Copies of this chain bind each other. A is one copy, B any other.
């Protein structure tokens, strides 16, 4: 029984890159370029592509940025499989893309063979990433080693995140509510915040707990 070719859609404003990619992919058995777009806006306006296709999306494009393009398209096509391509490894752009719904992230200087492998990986349910990028993404899970808080403060902050009040925290740590308050004041100072909500946000985003 014949294997179905993997359908690929390319969105890139750079003519040379787009056509080169199309040629490489289209010329490889088992792959098929079903559509090409020269901008994110064109992609969105003209209906994108089938949900089965793997979408190669450039991140630096004039008009709608690749990241926003993914977010907009994903809201209409939740099953779309988007593989981002970029020239530089701006880590913030990576996270933005992932939050928008991209499933993989490759730098553009990736050898063609590896890129084809990545497309196939997406098609088979993986999430290919260039090594440098993967390392950074995984690093975002790691606990912050430069935690300015003392151990006791981390304990308090942990309970703060769970929505406990002075009294409850005090009882759990066998100290007075006034002391809890003192710890919280100290936490606020160190984190440069002045409310529980901000403290929780900072704690979770910077992996302090």
A-to-B contact residues, CB < 8 Å: 78, 95, 98-101, 103-104, 121, 124-129, 131-132, 134-135, 137-139, 141-143, 145, 160-163, 165, 193-201, 204-205, 207
Residues of B within 8 Å of A195, CB to CB, are: 163, 165, 196
Cβ-defined contact, A138 with B103, below 8 A? yes
26 A-B pairs with CB atoms under 8 Å apart are A78-B145, A95-B141, A98-B138, A98-B141, A98-B142, A99-B207, A124-B131, A126-B132, A126-B134, A126-B135, A127-B134, A127-B137, A127-B138, A129-B134, A129-B138, A137-B137, A160-B197, A161-B197, A161-B201, A163-B195, A196-B196, A197-B199, A197-B200, A200-B200, A204-B204, A204-B205
Residues of B within 8 Å of A127, CB to CB, are: 129, 131, 134-135, 137-139
User: CB < 8 Å: which of B99, B126, B165 contacts A142?
Assistant: B99
Residues of B within 8 Å of A162, CB to CB, are: 197-198, 201
Cβ-defined contact, B135 with A125, below 8 A? yes
Residues of B within 8 Å of A99, CB to CB, are: 141-143, 207
Query: Closest Cβ of chain B: how far from A35's Cβ, in Å?
Result: 24
Residues of B within 8 Å of A103, CB to CB, are: 135, 138
Residues of B within 8 Å of A198, CB to CB, are: 162-163
Cβ-defined contact, A132 with B125, below 8 A? yes
Known contacts A163-B193, A193-B163, A197-B197: A101-B142 contact under CB 8 Å: yes
